[in-house]
Amino acid sequence: MLDLKKIRAEYPILGRTVEGRPLVYLDNAATSLTPDCVVKVINEMYHCHKANVHRGVHTLSQEATDLVEATREKVRQHIHAQSIEEIVFTRGTTESINLVASSLGDMLQHGDEIILTVMEHHSNIVPWQLIGRRKRIRIRAVPISDDGQLDLEAYEDMFTENTRFVAIAHVSNVLGTVNPVKQMIDIAHRHDVPVLIDGAQAAPHLALDMQAMDCDFYALSSHKMYGPTGVGVLYGKRQWLEKLPPYQGGGEMIGHVSFDNTTFADLPFKFEAGTPDYVGIAALAQAIDYINELGMDQIAAHEHELLQALTQGLMEIDGTRIFGSAPEKGAVVSFLVRDINSYDMGLLLDKLGFAVRTGHHCAQPLMARYGVTGMVRASLAFYNTLDEVHAFVAAVRRVAGMF
């Protein structure tokens, strides 16, 4: 079992008060908190290894470069990719998806189709729409059931001779639904269609294996994995990364430049233009070590216990509606109580010390599917406690009584 007292001591922010009350942080799906051991690496990078990477022969540059490339290998091992050439550093899941959409866009033609789902985050909708407007391609969205599960029969029926790409969330940031991505990838591959998985909500909670999953691209963010902001990862199968043109141009990603022609660097540097956030990248390695030391199985078990307690507690409040009750579900509960506006509920909960997310959660098509404009979302992490969950339920009950 997790030693919660020891774990929570590594997060000084959990000792804060809000409006004179102890902070209870339940906005982990937006961004996770960062432990002391990761912050220590950030400080050490700035204090001891502050030099640009891949371009210098001096000692500091070599040290920083070695730390970045060691992180690349650590990421490869963590997600079970075949080679470090398949690991591209970006600024986050959003940029990773934009990279693929922009690069793939050069290969699409008028009339081509892309399959998404109704539950996608805007970051996995808007980039495809931008490409769609340029290339006049069609976007199709897989519908969901009332309990938040994808309609796999409808999904399979969507494939036509014009289908060129599939991009789907591994875990819904609103419903918590863990989608059957392996099954969906297999279906797409039977039609010779590549698949991108948005793993922003999955990476902090699930063990990942790119070989077993067999996706063509996978995107994730450091800041949702207890690491620093501004760092993300795009995994891509080598054959696809070699095929796609660069997303950006600049230093680092070139082989040779003249005014007549430019050649590009080998993978993965072909997609890493400019100076990377090497400080954050080095800290990501520590974040990965941290969660692996805790153990993904232990993390999952504790978060499931919290999820069950939170769900049961909220359902005991009259008029509560929880959105998303799929059998496979992550530690996210989005809800409304009667007709109380989500913003009003969130504002009053903040006054009681509870940090939750309100509104459409960058998933407006999903809100439309359920006929609401917004929800209250409480998202859990392994440093949350059962006492916090019980206190939160009591706070929701108290706020509901005010209306």
CATH number, domain with residue 374: 3.90.1150.10
Task: Supply the pLDDT for residue 292.
Answer: 97
362 among known catalytic residues: yes
Q: Are both 335 and 262 inside the same structural domain?
A: no
**In angstroms, rounded to a whole number, what is the distance separating the alpha carbons of residues 14 and 23?**
6
Looking only at the bridges linking them, the beta strands covering 138-142 and 163-169 are unpaired
Last residue of a domain, one of 277, 292, 307: 292
Last residue of a domain, one of 292, 312, 347: 292
Q: Are both 79 and 178 inside the same structural domain?
A: yes
Contact 235, 86 (CB under 8 A): yes
**In angstroms, rounded to a whole number, what is the distance separating the alpha carbons of residues 201 and 178?**
9
Q: Are both 244 and 336 inside the same structural domain?
A: no
Q: Are both 341 and 235 inside the same structural domain?
A: no
Q: Are both 228 and 354 inside the same structural domain?
A: no
Last residue of a domain, one of 274, 292, 310: 292
- Considering the chain, what is the average pLDDT of its residues? 96
Q: Are both 268 and 306 inside the same structural domain?
A: no
Q: Are both 169 and 313 inside the same structural domain?
A: no
Q: Are both 318 and 264 inside the same structural domain?
A: no
Task: Supply the pLDDT for residue 258.
Answer: 87
Question: Which residue from 391, 364, 376 is spatially nearest to 337, judged by alpha carbons?
Answer: 376
Asked whether the CA dihedral 165, 170, 172, 177 is positive or negative, the reply is positive
CATH number, domain with residue 206: 3.40.640.10
Tell me the pLDDT tens digit for each residue of 321-367.
999 999 999 999 999 999 999 999 999 999 999 999 999 999 999 99
Counting the structural domains of the chain, the total is 2
The residue range of the domain holding 385 is 4-30+295-400
Tell me the pLDDT tens digit for each residue of 263-287.
888 899 999 999 999 999 999 999 9
Q: Are both 127 and 196 inside the same structural domain?
A: yes
Burial of 327 (0-12, 13-18, 19+ CB in 10 A): exposed
Question: Which residue from 330, 344, 328 is spatially nearest to 376, judged by alpha carbons?
Answer: 344
Q: Are both 83 and 146 inside the same structural domain?
A: yes
Per-residue pLDDT band for 22 (boundaries 50, 70, 90) equals very high
Tell me the pLDDT tens digit for each residue of 40-76.
999 999 999 999 998 778 999 999 999 999 999 999 9
Find the catalytic residue in 37, 48, 215, 362: 362
Contact 200, 224 (CB under 8 A): yes
pTM for the full predicted model: 0.97
